[in-house]
Every structure is written in structure tokens, then in C-alpha cells.
Amino acid sequence: MFVRSHALVDEVLTTHDLFSSDEIRYSASEIPHRDNPVLHSMSAMDPPRHHELRRMVSRAFTPRTVDALTPAIEARAAGLLDRLTPASDFITEFAHPLPLATLAALLGVADEADFVRWTDAITTFFGQPEARPAFEQAVTELREYLRTVPATDGIVAGLRESGLTTDEIVNLAGLLLINGHETTKTLLVNMVLCLAENRSALAALRQDPALVSSTIEEVLRLMPPAGGTDRFSTRAGMLGGETFEKGQRIVVSMAAANRDPAVFPDPDGFDTARSPNPHLSFGHGIHFCLGAHLARRQVTVALTAMLARFPGPWTVEDLVTRRSPVGTDVLALRLVWSAERDS
Ligand code: HEM
């Protein structure tokens, strides 16, 4: 079943006893990527285990953690932007490395080369046999690292204190890599696409930096990095007049809900002052994105620095995209700015 309206997407996400996240337990079909860490982490759990784990993780991963990481995010963003030119690929030179460095700092991993290798191996493994050796190697190295990392670095010490086992910390780290990297990278890219296309919005943003936060929310609404998610029905029932069976996969589209005209006036317009903006891009209910604050902070840092450095209107050149089963992935783009001020 495919759910698209804001009200019904919200209902599925907030009715976790009927719409379970536990695919292994409730899915009526075969799961080809059963050993992906995400299927053994809190995002694939229901209460009471989900509540317990989320409480433990939230104790280590707080708004204070994000504040403590912010100077490192600012320094990394500045360093990357110093080297960015209109000839550079914005993704390889900025949108990819910034969230990766943030996650490495969050987990206290000092060697970024190792971290890049683990992240690539873990985030690209979805059951294909040829990718398994690299995936297993990465999980083994990550486990060893997280077992031995000094207690002062990143959130790992706090997770240990909360009582998480090393395996639980490894599954959580895998989840943070999978949920936290690609999504933030995509949001940075989508922000550039939106602001290059909407010159007056970019000009207004320069006049009034207070719009940075509502601009980011509007990019999240119009181009959500995670356009959908799924749940599995724990019993048969009805939703929006349609019946579903027990164990049925219910796909919810946040991308569609975010453009529901019943909730958003001018749903396809890019309104950087939109208020309220109850988009569902970070989900809703008990699985609401644990990294929303961190993602918003990174993009705020990035956008603020980019506004100061890249004057005039922005244009996007050499855009390379690829169709994926859930939308369009942007593979490359150059961000070109002009020395003249826009008005
Ligand atoms: C959950 C989106 C960044 C960690 C989610 C969910 C969404 C989402 C939609 C809920 C999925 C569901 O209910 O099935 C995003 C977007 C991001 C982002 C759009 C960036 C723009 C991050 C970051 C981290 C993170 C940076 C961590 C470093 C998590 C975790 C969960 C989650 C741990 C699972 C929470 C739970 O099951 O209780 N995210 N995310 N996310 N996200 Fe994010």
C-alpha cells in the first residue's frame, strides 16, 4: 500500500503498534539484506526495546553534543570552502566530506581515511554477494575501533556508560553512518539547487539572514533527502478507505505529504518564509530523526558560510543525475557564483 496524504502519512508514522518498524518480525516477504546493521538497530525496532535503546542513545547524543561539535563543523566547512572554486565538483569537494567529518567527530574516529572506507562499505551494502567481504571487514574494523576508542572521544564513552554493549554500539554506529551521511549530503546539494533556481530567494536571504532557518526547512519540505519510509502492519485493517492485510508493507511518501495542498498553500512554490511548515522530512512519532538537530546545524553552518563567500546569483553547471528507484540522485555539479551583487 502506498500512502501519500499528509494526514495518513502522519497517522502511519505515529501509530506504531499497528504499523511496525520491525521488518524481520512482521514482513510477510523475504528480506534480501537481513544482515544490514540497520535491520538490527533502533530504527527497525518497536517498543519497548526501541524506547530503551533510544533513551540510552539520547543521553549520549544531546543538543549539547551538537553544540560541542559546532566549532569543528565550522572549521571544516571553512577549510573546504577555502579550496572550492567554480571549477570544483561541489559534491566531492564539499557536500560529501563535510557530513563525513562530522560523523567521524561524533564517533571520535581520528583517522578519516579508515572512516571513509568503513562508511562506503557499510552504506553501500544491501545484500549483494560481491559487496559482502568489504562490508564484513568494515564492520569488524569498526567494532574493534569502537571497543578500544578512548573513553573521552565522541559519544562512544556516553554510550558505554548508558550500558550499551559493543555490538549495540556497532549497530548504532552503522545506523548513524547510513542515516546521517547521504541524507545531509543530499540536503546540502538540494539547498544549492533551490537557491540557484530561485534568485530572488537567494537575494532576500542575503538581505535578511534570519531567513536561513526557514529556508532550510523549505528545502527539506520541497526536496526531502529521504522521500519515503516503510512500515509493516501487525494486523489486518483499513487506512484511508483501503484495506490491508497483516504483514503488508506500507510505504509512506513524505515527499508527497510535504506537497499536500490541504496543509501547504502553494505546495509546489519555494517560499523561504513559509510558516508554519509542518513537513515530515525527519519523520514523526517515536522514530523521529535523532540527528535532525545535527543535520540542521551542519546545513546552517554551511549556508551561512556560503552566503558570506559566494556573492551574486548562483548557477549550477555540469549537473549529472541518475534515476534511482525512489527518485533522482545528483552525482555531480559545479556551483558557479558571480562577483556582482544581486539585487
Ligand atoms: C531517523 C531523515 C540526518 C540519525 C530518520 C527518519 C527520517 C530521517 C525520515 C525516520 C525514518 C522512519 O521513521 O522510518 C533524515 C534526514 C537527515 C537526517 C532528512 C538529513 C537532512 C540524520 C543524522 C543522523 C541521523 C545526521 C545522525 C548522525 C537518525 C537515526 C534515526 C533517524 C538514529 C532512527 C531514529 C529511531 O528509529 O528512533 N531520519 N535524517 N539522521 N535518523 Fe535521520
Give one DSSP letter per residue of 97-147, joined into a string: HHHHHHHHHHHT---HHHHHHHHHHHHT-SS-GGGHHHHHHHHHHHHHHHH
Mean pLDDT along residues 301-310? 97
Listing DSSP states for 24-83 in one string gives HHH-SS--TTTTSGGGGSGGG--TTHHHHHHHHHHHHS-HHHHHHHHHHHHHHHHHHHHH
Check pLDDT > 90 for residue 27.
Answer: no
**Rg of the chain, C-alpha, whole Å:** 20
Query: What are the cell numbers at 132?
Result: 559482502
pLDDT value at residue 41: 84
Strand 314-324 and strand 249-253: the pairing is unpaired
- The amino acid sitting at 301 is V
pLDDT value at residue 199: 96
Mean pLDDT along residues 266-282? 98
Which carries the bigger pLDDT value, residue 322 or residue 174? 322
Whole-number Å distance between alpha carbons of 113 and 100: 11
* Inter-CA distances, 134 with 138, 176, 215, 245, Å: 6, 19, 39, 38
Q: Predicted confidence band at 151 (pLDDT cuts at 50, 70, 90)?
A: low
225 lines ligand 1 (CB under 6 A): yes
Assess: ipTM above 0.95.
yes
Share of the chain above pLDDT 90, in %: 67
Query: What are the cell numbers at 39?
Result: 535491520
SS3 state of residue 216: helix
Q: Predicted confidence band at 322 (pLDDT cuts at 50, 70, 90)?
A: very high
pLDDT value at residue 162: 83
187 lines ligand 1 (CB under 6 A): yes
Check pLDDT > 50 for residue 343.
Answer: no
- The amino acid sitting at 342 is D
pLDDT tens figures, 63-78: 999 999 999 999 999 9
Domains and CATH numbers, the chain: 2-337 (1.10.630.10)
Asked which of 61-65, 79-83, 174-178 is least confident by mean pLDDT, the reply is: 174-178
SS3 state of residue 218: helix
Kindly give the distance from the C-alpha atom of residue 295 to the centroid of ligand 1, in angstroms, as a whole number: 9
Whole-number Å distance between alpha carbons of 100 and 89: 17
pLDDT value at residue 146: 84
pLDDT value at residue 203: 95
Mean pLDDT along residues 24-37? 77
Kindly give the distance from the C-alpha atom of residue 200 to the centroid of ligand 1, in angstroms, as a whole number: 31
- For a mutational test of ligand 1's pocket, the pick from 16, 53, 183, 280, i.e. the residue with the most ligand atoms closer than 8 A to its C-beta, is 183
pLDDT value at residue 275: 97
Share of the chain above pLDDT 70, in %: 95
Which contiguous run of DSSP H or E holds residue 268? none
User: 171 Cβ partners below 8 Å, 6+ apart?
Assistant: 37, 40, 41
State the average pLDDT for the chain: 91
Mean pLDDT along residues 7-32? 92
Check pLDDT > 90 for residue 207.
Answer: yes
Which contiguous run of DSSP H or E holds residue 258? none
Q: Predicted confidence band at 47 (pLDDT cuts at 50, 70, 90)?
A: very high
**Which of 1-15, 41-55, 142-156 has the highest mean predicted lDDT (pLDDT)?**
1-15
DSSP 272: T
Asked which of 124-128, 135-139, 276-280, 325-329 is least confident by mean pLDDT, the reply is: 124-128
Strand 314-324 and strand 327-337: the pairing is antiparallel
176 lines ligand 1 (CB under 6 A): yes
56 lines ligand 1 (CB under 6 A): no
User: 131 Cβ partners below 8 Å, 6+ apart?
Assistant: 121, 124, 125
Whole-number Å distance between alpha carbons of 11 and 32: 28
User: 340 Cβ partners below 8 Å, 6+ apart?
Assistant: 311, 312
Mean pLDDT along residues 178-198? 95
Check pLDDT > 90 for residue 149.
Answer: no
